[in-house]
Amino acid sequence: MLRDVTAVRYVTPLRSGGSVPAVVEADDLGTYVVKFTGSAQGRKALVAEVIVGELARALGLRFPELVLVHFDPAIADGEPHQEVRDLHAASHGVNLGMDHLPGARDFTPDIAEVFPVDPLEAGRIVWLDALTVNVDRTVHSSNLMVWPTLGTVPPRLWLIDHGAALVFHHRWDGSDPAKRYDFRHHALGRYAPDVRAADAELAPRVTEELLRAIVAQVPDAWLLDEPAFTSADEARTAYVNHLHARVRASAAWLPTNFPTRDELAAEEARRAAKTRQGRPDWLKRVPDLHGKPAAEQDWSVHLG
C-alpha cells in the first residue's frame, strides 16, 4: 500500500501544469510533488496517477515513489495567489505526492535528438501508454524526465504525470477494451520502439491479481466520485476488468505505425512554416535567440 506522510513545509507551487501541483517537505524528511484533490482535473486524475504509476513500477519502469500526503492548507498561508490558496482550501486532507527528482530535466525534443533510448525500453513505455490509454506523452509534451543530470551515474528516463490516462473512465458505458488509439506522435516514436517484444514480455505479467493489488491502493474516497458505481469495490472491479480485457486484446491496439526521424523532421518543418506564415512581418525578422541547436551543445556538462 502507498505510504502515508504529512506535509510539514510548503516549498513552492509549480505553475507549469494546469493542476498547479506544489513541492512540499513531509515528516519523513522527503520532498514530494503534490497533486491536489481540489484541482480542476478532479480526483479521477489522481486515480489514473496511482493505477498507471504503480503499474509502471510493477513492470520495472522507472517511476518516482507515490505517497498519500496529508495536507493542511495552514502550512501554505504565505502563498500570495488567491486562486492557489483556494485550491489548497479545497484540498484539505489526503492528496497524492510523487517523490521529487531534484535537478531533473524535461525530456524535450532537443534532448531527444541527442539522448540514447534503447528500442526495447521505448517499446515498453509505449506499450504501457497504449494499454492505459495515456495519449498525453507526445513529442511536444513528453511527461518524461531525464535524471540524474549530474555526477557519475548515467542519466535515465523517468515517467511522470499520468493524470490524463485511463480515458475510458470518463465514459464507462462507451469504453471498448480493444479500441486502438493514435500513438504516431508518441514522445519515443523516433526510437523505433519495439512494441511487439514489449507486448510479449509485459502482457503475461499484467494479471488480474496484479491489477487488483494496484487498484486496491487507490483511496476509497477518490473512487466514490464516480456516479456509475455504488461502492469503491464496484469501481475497483470495473478498473481491473477493463484493463485485464485490454491486455488480452493487445493484438487489436498494439501501436506500430511510427513516423521515421526524417518524417518527424519534415512534419515539424511544415508546422513551423505554417506558424511562421501567420506571424506579422516584423516578427518574421526577429532572429533565433535560443542559442545553439541541441546537437551542437556539450551535453556532457548536463547529463554526466
Sorting pLDDT into bands at 50, 70 and 90, what band is 96? Answer: very high
In a domain, 226, yes or no: yes
Asked whether residue 277 is assigned to any structural domain, the reply reads: no
Helix, strand and coil percent figures for the chain, each rounded to 5: 40, 15, 40
How many domains does the structure of the chain reveal?
A: 2
Cβ distance 166 to 133 under 8 Å? yes
**pLDDT tens-digit profile of 195-239?**
999 999 999 999 999 999 999 999 999 998 777 899 999 999 999
Shared domain for 121 and 75, answered yes or no, is no
Mean pLDDT of the chain: 90
| Residues spanned by the domain of 66 | 3-99
Residues 122 and 217 occupy one common structural domain: yes
Q: Is the pLDDT of residue 286 over 90?
A: no
CA distances from 32 to 97, 102, 135 (A): 5, 10, 25
Structure confidence at residue 211 (pLDDT): 98
Q: Which of 52, 67, 99 is the last residue of a domain?
A: 99
Rg (CA), the chain: 21
The reply to whether 94 and 134 lie within a common domain is: no
**Residue 304 covered by a domain:** no
Reported as a single tens digit per residue, the pLDDT across 250-263 is: 999 999 989 877 88
* Residue 260 forms part of a structural domain: no
Asked if 187 and 144 count as a contact pair (C-beta separation under 8 A), the reply is: yes
C-alpha cell at 181: 488509439
Same domain, 13 and 150: no
Taking the C-alpha atoms of residue 249 and residue 247, their distance in angstroms, rounded to an integer, is 5
Question: Going by C-beta distance under 8 Å and a sequence separation of 6 or more, which residues neighbour residue 122?
Answer: 188, 191, 192, 193, 194
Residue 8 within any structural domain of the chain: yes
Contacting residues for 251 by C-beta, under 8 A, at least 6 apart: none
Residues in the chain, total: 304
CB atoms within 10 A of CB 260: 11
Domain co-membership, 119 together with 92: no
Same domain? 54 vs 167? no
Let me know whether 87 and 137 are in one domain: no
Who wins on pLDDT, 299 or 218? 218
Res 158: pLDDT: 98
One domain, residues 94 and 122 = no
Is 94 found in the same domain as 109? no
CA 191 to chain centre: 19
What residue type is assigned to position 200 of the chain? A
Cell digits of residue 206: 499484467
Cβ pair 232, 224 in contact under 8 A = yes
170 contacts 159 by C-beta, under 8 angstroms:
no
Instruction: Tell me: do 65 and 166 sit in the same domain.
Output: no
pLDDT tens for each residue of 65-86: 999 999 999 999 999 999 999 9
Report the range of poorest mean pLDDT among 52-56, 153-157, 184-188, 268-272: 268-272
Last residue of a domain, one of 81, 99, 117: 99
Same domain for 241 and 144 = yes
Q: What pLDDT score was predicted for residue 262?
A: 82
Contact in structure between 64 and 49 (CB atoms under 8 Å): no
| Domain shared by 62 and 112, yes or no | no
Domain boundary, last residue among 232, 253, 274: 253
pLDDT at 203: 98
- pLDDT, tens digit (0-9, with 9 covering 90-100), for 4-20: 999 999 999 997 667 89
* pLDDT one-digit tens code per residue, 132-191: 999 999 988 999 999 998 888 899 999 999 999 999 999 888 789 999 999 999 999 999
Residue 244, in any domain of the structure: yes
Q: Which pTM was predicted?
A: 0.88
Amino acid identity of residue 37, one-letter, is T
pLDDT of residue 95: 98
